[in-house]
Structure 1
Amino acid sequence: MKFTDGYWMTRPGYTLMSPYEVHGVDVHPDKVVVYAALKHIDHRGQTLNDPLLTLEFSSPLPDVIRAVYYHHKGSLRKGPSSFPLRVSGSAAISIEDSEEKVILTSGETSVTITKQQGLSILYAYKGRKLTGSGHRATSYVKGANGVHHFREQLDLGIGETVYGLGERFTPFVKNGQVVDIWNQDGGTASEQAYKNIPFYVTNRGYGVFVNHPELVSFEIASEKVSKVQFSVEGERLDYFVIGGESLKEVLGNYTSLTGKPSLPPQWSFGLWLTTSFTTNYDEATVSGFVDGMAERNLPLSVFHFDCFWMKAYHWCDFIWDEKVFPDPAGMLARLKAKGLRICVWINPYIAQRSDLFDEGVANGYFLKRPDGSVWQWDLWQYGMGILDFTNPEATKWFGDKLRALLDMGVDCFKTDFGERIPTDVVYHDGSDPYQMHNYYTQLYNKAVFDVLVEKRGVSEAVLFARSATAGGQQFPVHWGGDCEATYESMAESLRGGLSLGLSGFSFWSHDIGGFENTSPADLYKRWVAFGLLSSHSRLHGSSSYRVPWMYDEEAVDVVRFFTNLKCRLMPYLYGQSSASAEQGIPMMRAMVLEFGSDPACDYLDRQYMLGESLLVAPVLNDAGESHFYLPEGTWTNFLSGEKVRGGRWCKERHDYFSLPLYVRPGSLIAVGSHKDRPDYDYTSGVTFHLFELASGSVTAKVPGADGRTVFSLTVSREAEGYSVSAEGLVGEWLLLLRGVTTVGVVNGGWVEVAAEGVLVKPDRSKSWLFVGLPIEQ
């Protein structure tokens, strides 16, 4: 939202009230309160008939500085007035107070407020400037129409790039964009977004979280090219500046504040297949798909029933359409006997034709209009009412419908919608509907996730959610919404996923092949490679089926190849997922997150790191070409073994069974022995692939079903050769030294030197040293 007309002028209808100098400072044990006058005060008479602005600085966590600005502090603000934080109390801080300035330090992050020569606010990490504000930047904005705003402008340095703000499909670097944090069902081809998060990070190594659930308007180097501006309506502004040693640490601090993600179960990382949306299907259709996958040796982990498992005009009554599913419990039992998990589609809306509608009206379970009538419309479903999750009884009622489905054999839910939430409504608990518009999705997804935790346990709970706000990362997985079957949409989906990852979300998916329309076989096969090298993988569409034999026979082979590959990579992928959940960082990582010191990575949005060691560059054209960047070092193509020197751009042509999948130098990748399912004992027959370890040591951790490490292997490069040690397992495993042509054993353990590597039956008390003895061919 713009308040100025160019650099000098203010837009008609607005008056900017900007703090000019500090009039006084109150130092408390846990905060600093600054009173800022709007002009220079020469004498007492100038203190009359003129406001002060109150600026409070505190710290809830080490390296997190909170700034809360007030005009009129007593102004009424209904809930949810802010996002619930996962911390209470204050972090240990130090305060230096002098005549010239006051400095509040938390961890290694500080804020300095000058007291003389005009107000300035400087945020720093270990003395290095992160950003700053002050006179003519911080402003209370009076509107002639009686609607007032608070605005902050934070400095952008030369070459500084901004990322995040949710799952945005616009250019990956947000500089020059206007972003309104307002959830909308806008597809993947516009500036609208399903998941709007008022949090951004920059390549300078810090983040900013605006703690307002309502509309937050960002002007990112747009209203003023050297500033990130954000504004909210009202008498108060609350934001955090988050420091850290790296962007990973910044994301970790942010998710410590707003919530760490739950670790999804192992089975959820396998291939999901759906009925698609408006296609015709019944049990015979579903069985045909499932059996067809099995007959073609295509590993399938989850089958999803989309909207029409219920009758049209009845959504959501949670009742199977008996015309096409006369025996739902029996059908689910038959599918589960084939080793599948079951997902069903839901939303938080109840159509008027459903029998549940009258029950919901009678008990006051829906959002109401100011006159007390139920808020309804015909968009999506006829006479649709919206569940009021601020009503505990309504939440329990909704949850009971889900509990019945779980008892029937359903394993998880696709929580669709949650964005089209009106503001002309009344909530049960009196919440402000304007502030609830974005926040509604949090209550919705939490209600469903809580039922799953209750019935299945936290280790088995997983959603497939479309909408989100800050804190929504606690309820994974999220998917990218309605994309088109085009290469352009495939690329915009990737941009959205990378932006969401830099907004604190660890697990993300997308509709393989595109949702709208039907992709040609070429695009489908390229999207399969991208989709199965994503956090989660789902074949889904709108008006046509997504089983691969509907495209061509080669598509079947491509799906098999990449599904097998993902299953084999699960020891690595699940270990990385466990670390991602613990640290609050994404599985699919923008290059800037792993290589922040390489300026060539600042703008890269057509490739990503899958965990810390695998680089993926999807093929985004029908020529089979990929143009990608490799940072410094010698990288290894995981599929072909080819070595490529980094620090440069590369261009490659690939068939459908390949894409640029490169291993970071110095990596140790745990590869599993099963290619037909994602959930198995990862320690059984595990192979460790070592890549280009020039010096030092590297450790691979193999997780169990709960994500905890059950076995770790450390390899160190020394002058004599490689020393190896293992913890947690007495069994047999294989160490594969990729690219090393000579290897031998000097001491310890029972070791068999083979052409492909070193087969070890380890003893916990032993370590091994491998040196340059030739491998017998």
Structure 2
Amino acid sequence: MTILNLQIVYLRMISMNRIAIILFLLYVPAFVAFGQPPAQVTTVAPGVMKVASGRAERFSPYSFCSEKPVTAAMSRLPEGKLPFNINDIKITTSERGVLVEIPLDNREQLYGFGLQMGSFNQKGLRKKPIVNDNPSRDLGYSHAPMPFYVSNKGYGILVNTSHYTTFYCGTTAKNTGAVTRNNGRGGNSAEELYRNDGPASGYVAVDIPGVRGIEVYVFEGPELVHVLQRYNLFSGGGALPAMWGLGVKYRVKADFTQQQVGKMAAYFRANAMPCDVLGLEPKWQTAAYSCSYVWNEDFFPSHDKFIDTMRSKGFHINLWEHAFVNPRSPLYAPLKKKSGDYLVWNGLVPDFADSSARQLFAAYHKATFVSKGISGFKMDECDNSNLATGSATWSFPEHSRFPSGIDGEQMHQVFGVLYQKTVFQIYKALNTRTFLDVRASNAFASSYPASLYSDTYDHHEYIQMISNAGFSGLLWSPEVRESKSIADLMRRSQTAVLSAQTLYNSWYLQHPPWLQINIGKNNKNELMDNAKAVEADVRKLLDFRMSLVPYLYSAFAVYHTQGIPPFRALVVDYPDDEKIFNIDDEYMIGEGILAAPLTADSDARKVYLPAGNWYEFNTRKKYAGGREYIIKTGYTDLPVFIKEGTILPLAEPVQYIGPDTRFELTCYVYGDQAKPAYLFEDDGVTFAFEKGKYNNVILSYGNGKGAVTRKGNYAGERFRVKKWEVVR
């Protein structure tokens, strides 16, 4: 707007009310200087503020969040205080799009951006949290990217966009006209010359091309754990899966028939190998790429009876699928006009941004599968073909258009979340809980009981992603597939046991990997000479998993009601310990367990223990915190440490978790001054707990004896304490 145009407008306003003229004149300088009105700051929930400027995105991540904030729990958190003035968050709109600048202190450490692989502490990096089927080093491409980061200084920033976005995490320096000194770098190698090793620039710059406005959600602490609590509670509370979902899941070979699946089920029970869920891979349906969602009668001639038979033996059935609809599917005609303008594997891409498309997809799945006893789904291929490879072109393009108005770029970013929402609401409507597998996710998905997985297979990265998932309201499955050695198999099994979901994915193996690690020999029915010995070692680890279920289930209940992630990086609990800032291969499980998994590279590893005293679980040896140790752990031992003051309830292992399973507990008391422990007790399979039908089981120890107190409205009894044992 030119000065001449402003004068003309001013003359036309001469006859206006004097107050209006004054307001106009006050507004004009800001409009001319910045090209837009100032950002608006509002409080949207206790400890959560929204900074908004311009036109908000119609298809933002939060626009699809149907769960209401748990404001009562949020209001009970300590009052937070930002380390900067919220008005110092700058939002600038230009022809390119929107630039957001958030203050950043040189001493801050940044984490998050979703399920990141190849990086942990994100300070000093350029991050592009874009959905991709092959996470790419430390750039930010991921199955579950998220425009959300947190600081150890006690705040979190979520940029509410579904567009491809770049975060410069203290990596850029503006030309202010001031004279800057040479960095003094003396080396001549390319790595030395191009490395950005200067201090933080004073802000995080967020580049969002192609938008005309933005909303920025700011989550206050005061501590990092409180930030995560506020985010998860703002998203509707953390997920509380069905109790059986915390057992063991085993996915059978892709071309197994009904009879072969039955034989595999019989193997587990005959050999006392714990297993709650059997997953069926693509051949269960008549077409898989794209999907028909119709039972393959040649492979499963009596599928309904098969489901009932498996259920009677304690197995839940999980079905693999993806959301691209084959022309032969009964869903094709209803969804044809409610899908995008491009096909994937000759199948429709449903417009999940449209609630009517979600309802059609859900209604069919409810009638055909869920009402017949299917307990969950593996929702595959909902990410994107690899953006780092020119030949990877299987998914729909970014310029796709959908009837709702969303484009392909935005749809890629939210497709996994909307897929979860579509399927989860089937179970919620039927008052039946589940635990799903999903290939992609994004922001505000904390309330969905779905665990992510990946086709990548680097073990250290799998461990790292357990820590990273906790920053973003996500769950991660470091699944076990093939192994290069017995050591590799056992170390991967230990990590799987110490994660949100213990999963063996044998979709291309005739036999379980512990009977033959070599793929070729496995599929030729040539088992290892020591197969039974390895099987026995794996059984010990799986038994420990089943022993841990009451503790894990209660940690998930805390996640649901208080927002504290059940699996989280050490920096969440110890944000001021500089020695922890970059530790990505240790993490907390609940309040009292520190896990430090090993890979096959060594039988020993360095472990840093935070402040306080800790007990090695296997040896019961006591260690002082604030120090590093070299720890050796055998294949059948668990690489965990127990925090002093913890009461750890461990159950007698069971082969599966049924509706009437009662856990017989031994309570281990670590140290002389143990804090009370809490178990969450309900039916484990319905949402009755949301109506108050649950118990808090309080475990306390003092004066040489333990006590159990129940408070609540659940009439059943899932936990019974058999004995107490003190560890000093």
Normalised-by-shorter TM-score class: 0.7 to 0.9
| 1:664-704 deviation line (CA, Å, top 9, x unaligned) | 1110112223433345768653222110144x743333523
Alignment of 1:144-223 (within 5 A): 147-187=95-135, 191=139, 192-223=141-172
Pick one of 41, 57, 63 that aligns with 1:83: 63
Structure 1 residues 735 and 316, CA, compared in 2 at 3 Å: closer, same or farther? same
Distance 1:620 1:544 in 2: 22
Aligned to 1:705: 683
Structure 1 residues 727 and 424, CA, compared in 2 at 3 Å: closer, same or farther? same
Structure 1 residue 734, shift from structure 2 partner: 4.1
Distance 2:125 2:557 in 1: 34
Structure 1 residue 466, shift from structure 2 partner: 1.7
AA aligned to 2:724 is: L
Distance 1:660 1:200 in 2: 29
Distance 1:323 1:45 in 2: 74
AA aligned to 1:387 is: P
Tell me if the contact between 2:417 and 2:445 (Cα under 8 Å) persists in the aligned partners. Answer: yes
Aligned to 1:616: 595
AA aligned to 1:245 is: P
Pick one of 19, 29, 40 that aligns with 1:56: 40
Aligned to 1:483: 456
Tell me if the contact between 1:80 and 1:436 (Cα under 8 Å) persists in the aligned partners. Answer: no
Distance 2:108 2:297 in 1: 58
Alignment of 1:447-486 (within 5 A): 447-455=422-430, 457-458=431-432, 460-484=433-457
Distance 2:496 2:295 in 1: 30
AA aligned to 1:492 is: E
Match status 1:66 vs 2:50: yes
**Which segment is superposed worse, 343-352 or 545-554?**
545-554
Aligned to 2:724: 736
Structure 1 residues 360 and 737, CA, compared in 2 at 3 Å: closer, same or farther? same
Distance 1:301 1:429 in 2: 40
Gaps of 5+ in 1: 1-34, 93-104, 110-124, 369-374, 741-777
Structure 1 residues 433 and 280, CA, compared in 2 at 3 Å: closer, same or farther? closer
Distance 2:305 2:659 in 1: 27
Structure 1 residue 343, shift from structure 2 partner: 0.2
Structure ranking higher on relative contact order (CA contacts 8 Å, 6+ apart): 2
Structure 1 residues 292 and 431, CA, compared in 2 at 3 Å: closer, same or farther? same
Structure 1 residue 81, shift from structure 2 partner: 8.0
Distance 2:77 2:373 in 1: 49
AA aligned to 1:220 is: C
AA aligned to 1:83 is: S
Pick one of 359, 369, 374 that aligns with 2:333: 359
AA aligned to 2:205 is: Q
Distance 2:155 2:363 in 1: 43
Structure 1 residues 129 and 290, CA, compared in 2 at 3 Å: closer, same or farther? same
Structure 1 residue 710, shift from structure 2 partner: 3.0
Aligned to 1:294: 269
AA aligned to 1:275 is: V
Distance 1:643 1:422 in 2: 56
Distance 2:592 2:413 in 1: 35
Structure 1 residue 131, shift from structure 2 partner: 6.8
Tell me if the contact between 2:247 and 2:275 (Cα under 8 Å) persists in the aligned partners. Answer: yes
Tell me if the contact between 1:130 and 1:206 (Cα under 8 Å) persists in the aligned partners. Answer: no
Q: Given the two structures, how large is their TM-score scaled by the length of structure 1?
A: 0.75
Q: Which has the higher strand share?
A: 1
Tell me if the contact between 1:686 and 1:733 (Cα under 8 Å) persists in the aligned partners. Answer: yes
AA aligned to 2:285 is: M
**Which segment is superposed worse, 667-676 or 721-730?**
721-730
Structure 2 residue matching 1:511: 3-state secondary structure: coil
Tell me if the contact between 1:509 and 1:535 (Cα under 8 Å) persists in the aligned partners. Answer: yes
Aligned to 2:467: 498
Q: Which has the higher helix share?
A: 2
Distance 1:36 1:664 in 2: 61
AA aligned to 1:523 is: D
Structure 2 residue matching 1:491: 3-state secondary structure: helix
Structure 1 residues 87 and 554, CA, compared in 2 at 3 Å: closer, same or farther? closer
Aligned to 1:587: 566
Structure 1 residue 603, shift from structure 2 partner: 1.3
Tell me if the contact between 1:342 and 1:410 (Cα under 8 Å) persists in the aligned partners. Answer: yes
Structure 2 residue matching 1:451: 3-state secondary structure: helix
Aligned to 1:765: none
Distance 2:77 2:612 in 1: 34
Structure 1 residue matching 2:664: 3-state secondary structure: coil
Number of matched pairs:
637
Pick one of 181, 194, 208 that aligns with 1:232: 208
Structure 2 residue matching 1:67: 3-state secondary structure: strand
% identical aligned pairs: 19
Structure 1 residue 267, shift from structure 2 partner: 0.4
**Aligned-pair Cα RMSD in Å:** 3.4
Pick one of 508, 519, 522 that aligns with 2:487: 522
Pick one of 400, 414, 422 that aligns with 2:363: 400
Q: Given the two structures, how large is their TM-score scaled by the length of structure 2?
A: 0.80
Distance 1:213 1:43 in 2: 31
Tell me if the contact between 1:512 and 1:531 (Cα under 8 Å) persists in the aligned partners. Answer: yes
Structure 1 residue 637, shift from structure 2 partner: 2.1
Structure 1 residue 418, shift from structure 2 partner: 1.8
Alignment of 1:116-131 (within 5 A): 125-126=80-81, 129-130=83-84
Aligned to 1:138: 90
Structure 1 residue 330, shift from structure 2 partner: 2.7
Match status 1:670 vs 2:649: yes
